[in-house]
A and B are shown apart, each in its own frame.
Chain A
Amino acid sequence: MDRLKLVLQYFQSNSESISNGICIILSLISVKLYTSFDFNCPCLPQYNKMYALGVMFVPPIILFLLGVLVNRHTGVLMEEWVRPLGKRTKNPAVVKFLLSSMLQRSFLAPMVWILMTLLDGKCFICAFSMNVDPKYFTGIPNSTGLELIKIMAKVPCKEDVIFKNSSFRKAVSRYVRCYSQAIGWSILLFFIFLGAVGRVLKPCFNHATFLQTRYWSNYLDIEQKLFDETCVLHARDFARKCVMQFFESMQEDVTVRMPLSSAFRPSTIHNEYEEEEEERLHGITRQDQVDHLLQTWYECKPELDVTRMAYKPKACITWEDINGKALFSEV
């Protein structure tokens, strides 16, 4: 009983902690990607905004899709959603729960990227330096003959020659960066606040239903894993038996199976390993049986009722000789 509990705990904690771990790894990847990315503002009026907003929003989309992809719950969710009804009713609350937990985890890495771009400020400067009103700043280099907007567009580029001897560029950059960081911090604060409120207020609404949906979504996940494992074990035993029979079919001499002594005295000391193997095959020994099993698993999932299996009456055999004397009994 204890071992079973440990196993169950392992499975339950394992699935969630794996998802959390993957989520965090993805966020770290997003941080690393940002730091190693060489941000290259074009410093041209027509392209600045496009580039900067592209860098701010396209990688989050990619990270979000990646987060959905690598999350195990996505598969469980999609399967539960599209499966035929079969013998098991569908519970939309479970689907919603799985969806929300998957989305929450997948949103973390994109948020990390967006926050990093905002707190760093480069993207913002590149995008919005042209919107700054230069009359608040001194030292604008107006001797180059360029239009104002072109000069402002060059602000993000440090090495441009027109800003060599003036502090104009630095002043404008600092101003825009302030804005960027303010927005970044407020977004962070907002989300933390939202998370805290959600956590605190959640038990006030439908807690009992929530417990149920959480249980059943966990159950679906574990069931899927166990099914895959059972298939793996079955395939291995199937293969082993197939290969063995293949070898045995090639022999050219007599092989006499002689469990004669067993007929006298049906021994309980059989080849335990073989018996276990037989058991693990569960009677599924042909290709069409396996195909049918897999098809039915999808089309007509079994009902959630194992009472029959748990209390199945077991057949007991008693061996008797001609006089009726019991030689051996399993009772």
Chain B
Amino acid sequence: MDKFRMMAQILQSNQESFMNGICGVMALASAQLYTSFEFNCPCIPEYNYSYGISMLVIPPIWFFLLGFVLNNNVSMLAEEWKRPVGQRRKDPAVMRYMCVSISQRSLIAPAVWISVTLMDGKSFLCAYSMDLDMSEFGKNVSGHGLSQEDLLRTLAKIPCKHIYDGQHILSREAATRYICCISQAFGWLFLLIITIAAFLIRAIRPCFTQAAFLKTKYWSHYVDTERKVFDETCTEHAKGFAKICIKQYFEGISGEIQSFHDNLHGDDSDDEDDKPATEEDKLMGVRRLDTMNKVLWDWHTCKPPLTLRKPGDASTGQNGDCSMNANKSQDGNVSDKTDLNEGQNGFKHGYLNPGLDIGQSELGKEYDNASFSIEQNGFTNKHSNASTSQNGLMNGCVSSPSNTQKKAWAVYYSKV
């Protein structure tokens, strides 16, 4: 139990703490970038404003987009948004939740930049030095004898310490201090507003729609987990596929079917349960290029429904396959052969020669026409009769089930 608890903590905290870590790193990067950036006000009336404001506004936009780029969940959100509906409904609340959480994290670095810029005051000073109201300083406004343009040019030089030449008109330090004050006031106001907004969103949220929030949180986490598990499964499958492919290639070349004895399950029933999962098991029945392609294609175009089948129950639920309809075959494998269309006409043949790339023909020989079914369907008698009529192996295996209590097991059929 402890192991699982730790694993759960790691799983849950990993995704969130990883994203929080990236968030924090970007915030620090933004602060560091600001301090190391050499702010260079042009001190020219035409360009001051654009330079000052662009220094305030453009890097935050850049950080915001960078936050989206670095966030893994963006591709997940896009995937969930664009996928066809298939067998699984789309939940707009989940997508909204993911979008909001991604945006919240991406907004932190821009907010840090804006607040640091405002607190420092240089860009505000650069942008607004020309709008200075001289009467604040109590100086005789009309007594300087400068034209409007010259006055503007002088005021524009305020941010530049070394080239300011209006000291007799207006003290540069006083003007700088005044504008920096206003800038800092705006900075604190900005911080207060975003903190209040965050507080309202997070602390007051449980008052509204808490149950719906639990649901969307679970399902958005589920989507992420499912994607990861799918990637892992594909990797495992590829490994198994490759191993068997290579093995069979070697066998093919050497001309011996060395694995014949290895693959038989029926004879050594004693050891069966003790063997670890073989490579065959890892393939989960997907053994061909086109099948694997279909797996990957359908994963996007037709995601399976969120309904798990119970292990002994093959009749409920769909098999997640939009085009094939394998359920039919299970009930009617012996009784209604007529139901099988052209794809299933070659049922027997299909069994005898399943067309597998990975040679399971020996297995097929052993188990073709294996027709078990769930006991509760009442097919048992029918099937044991039917099975003896077919050329099968049933001898050692099928007759015995009638003596003992059967455990339910299911067989999955599909068209070849």
Contacts and interface: CB of A to CB of B under 8 A. Distances in A.
A315 to B, nearest CB: 15
Given A232-B11, A252-B416, A260-B401, A294 B211 contact: yes
Contact of A38 (B120, B356, B416): B120
A244 interface: yes
Interface string B354-387: 1110001000100110101000000000000000
A144 to B, nearest CB: 11
Contacts of B265: 258
Contacts of A291: 215
Interface string B199-236: 10011111100110011001101100110111001000
B307 interface: yes
30 contacts: A42-B177, A51-B184, A54-B188, A55-B184, A150-B138, A157-B177, A160-B171, A229-B12, A230-B8, A235-B226, A240-B229, A246-B320, A248-B412, A249-B319, A249-B321, A250-B285, A250-B298, A252-B416, A254-B370, A256-B411, A263-B401, A266-B407, A269-B273, A286-B306, A286-B307, A286-B308, A287-B305, A290-B215, A297-B214, A299-B211
B203 A78 contact: yes
A186 to B, nearest CB: 27
B307 A287 contact: yes
Interface stretch (B53-61, B95-103, B153-161, B288-296): B288-296
Interface string A23-58: 000000000000001101111100100010011001
Given A40-B184, A291-B215, A262 B407 contact: yes
A83 B214 CA distance: 13
A82 B411 contact: no
Interface in B300-327: 304-311, 319-321, 326
Contacts of B415: 252
Contacts of A264: 269, 400, 404
B339 to A, nearest CB: 18
Interface in A125-146: 146
A55 B188 contact: yes
B29 interface: no
Which secondary structure dominates where chain B touches chain A? helix
Contacts of B105: none
B241 to A, nearest CB: 12
B20 to A, nearest CB: 11
Contacts of A174: none
Contacts of B368: 254
Contact of A285 (B136, B230, B307): B307
Nearest to A291: B215
Given A239-B225, A242-B226, A243-B233, A256 B203 contact: no
A249 B304 contact: yes
A281 interface: yes
Given A252-B416, A260-B269, A261-B270, A243 B222 contact: no
Residue picked from B195, B294, B305, B406, most chain A C-beta under 10 Å: B195
Contact of A262 (B266, B273, B370): B273
A298 B217 CA distance: 13
A263 B406 contact: yes
Nearest to B296: A250
B51 interface: no
Contact of A62 (B195, B202, B270, B360): B195
Contact of B285 (A51, A228, A253): A253
Contacts of A252: 288, 291, 354-355, 414-416
Contact of A241 (B173, B218, B308, B412): B308
Contacts of B294: 250
- Identify the interface centre among B178, B206, B287, B415: most chain A CB within 10 Å of its CB: B206
Contacts of A160: 171, 173-174
B188 A236 contact: no
A9 interface: no
B196 interface: yes
B397 A255 contact: no
B291 A250 contact: yes
Given A44-B178, A244-B233, A246-B295, A69 B210 contact: no
A269 B273 CA distance: 6
Contacts of B404: 263-264, 319, 321-322, 327
B222 A251 contact: no
Most buried by A among B233, B356, B400: B233
Given A252-B414, A255-B411, 5 more contacts: A62-B191, A249-B321, A252-B416, A253-B360, A255-B285
A245 B11 CA distance: 23
A267 interface: yes
A235 B409 contact: no
Nearest to B276: A271
A235 B225 contact: yes
Contact of A242 (B173, B274, B285, B306): B306
B192 interface: yes
A270 interface: yes
Given A40-B121, A233-B4, A266-B407, A251 B286 contact: yes
A232 to B, nearest CB: 5
A240 B11 CA distance: 14
B8 A74 contact: no
Contacts of B272: 261
**7 nearest A-B pairs in the assembled complex, by CB-CB distance:** A251-B285, A261-B269, A287-B306, A249-B319, A285-B308, A78-B206, A239-B226
Contacts of B407: 259, 262-263, 266
Of the candidates B229, B326, B370, the one having the most CB atoms from chain A within 10 angstroms of its own CB is B229
Contacts of B147: none
Contacts of B246: none
Given A238-B308, A241-B308, A261-B273, A250 B321 contact: yes
B134 interface: no
Contacts of B198: 65, 69
